Structure 1
């Protein structure tokens, strides 16, 4: 079964990222095409990149890096939940991405952005990063407006946003499966046991 990580891409106090990620998990949990797991970068307490060797060498020396690497390596694809700060993604998310290299390779990713203009520019900045990491970023994306898609601290989007999320997840799952040969994995038999997969919240550490 494919494993898709839903990455909470902000560590700021008062952040909206967990509410957005919860909404993604609620929608994903109704699909039955993959196992979706919530991954909050705040749980890993990553400092500003402190590895002495470039990540492309895979010589991780810090326990926090090794824990983060093991978590990311377990996934076949990703959904990045990103705020938009100053026309880009959050520094915390960019730092977390930069800690690793091979753990990202030959996987797929989709994006859920939020902000005053839906996080569009944050998503575009992440697309550039994904290319260098050999991550196939899908075309469909979700852009949530702080003015119209939130209510009482929770995500309350119209149906069109749910449809956009489903379309993005369709592409992430399809591309994650298509890239399995490059990762040396055997494509799953989706009907192997007749039991549908589900979204789940698990400990990030």
Structure 2
């Protein structure tokens, strides 16, 4: 069975470098036999959070929110691709994520961070760990941290130079870890209903 994995990306900037990392992850997961799908927060275009999906009467949520809720429910796992803004998470990705809650439960999540500098978005990755855990996901221990992103991936998301080689080497462990937890969570959900 192919793992259905949503790769969520949240920059709203006009010159978006992180999409390179999102594309690299989508391509890498597909090459390993998974079925990844990019969810671009800017393209989805949810409003700033007023009502969560669950707070709408059935059938009355905005169409984009309803479609994304269904994708989240069907997914086996998630990868959050996050830049770092002033030591914290991107507001676009956080806003998209906060529209949902129960839809995320009982599935693994992985974090891939990036920045223009050498810190590689690591502080944002640390912040996301707590956020995703609170939202009912099992956050895997393997992470990807990419920086400087412009020296690591080209405009098509292809690895370049020594930084690209390092990312390619790290990706295998990252993907293996996510695959293991995805299989474990699926087996447990099939064996027993979640406690809530």
Query: Normalized against structure 1, the TM-score is what?
Result: 0.80
Are the equivalent residues in 2 in contact too, given 1:3–1:35 (CA < 8 A)? yes
- Quote the residue 1:109 is aligned against: 109
Aligned pair count? 181
2:75 aligned residue: 75
Q: Name the CA shift for 1:44/1:77 in 2 (closer, same or farther; >3 Å).
A: same
Question: 1:126 maps to which residue?
Answer: 128
Distance apart, 1:153 and its partner CA: 7.6
Question: In 2, Cα distance between the equivalents of 1:150 and 1:38?
Answer: 17
> How far did 1:67 drift?
2.2
Q: Which has the higher helix share?
A: 2
Question: 1:59: Cα distance to partner?
Answer: 3.4
**Please, which of 146, 171, 193 is the counterpart of residue 165 of structure 1?**
171
CA distance in 2, matches of 1:173, 1:87: 29
Residue in structure 2 matched with residue 18 of structure 1 by the alignment: 19
Which residue matches 1:202?
Answer: none
Contact 1:82-1:90 at 8 Å conserved across structures: yes
Uncovered stretches (5+) of structure 1, i.e. residues with no partner: 187-205
| CA-CA distance at 1:28 after TM superposition | 1.9
Secondary structure of 1:84's counterpart equals: strand
Which aligned pairs between 1:149-164 and structure 2 lie closer than 5 A?
A: 149-151=152-154, 154=157, 156=160, 157-164=163-170
- Aligned residue for 1:88? 88
Residues 20 and 154 in structure 2, CA contact (< 8 A), matched pair in contact too: no
> Larger relative contact order (C-alpha < 8 A, sep ≥ 6)?
1
The CA distance in 2 between the partners of 1:185 and 1:92, in whole Å, is: 36
Give 5+ residue unaligned stretches, structure 2: none
Change beyond 3 A, Cα 1:152–1:7? closer
Where does residue 142 of structure 1 map in the other structure?
A: 144
Shift of 1:62: 2.5
Shift of 1:41: 1.6
Seen in structure 2, the aligned counterparts of structure 1 residues 59 and 182 have a Cα distance that, compared at 3 Å, is farther
Counterpart CA distance in 1 for 2:76 and 2:4 is 5
Instruction: Kindly indicate whether the alpha-carbon contact (under 8 Å) linking 1:46 and 1:65 is maintained by their aligned counterparts in 2.
Output: yes
- Structure 1 counterpart of 2:55, from 53, 59, 68: 59
Partner of 1:203: none
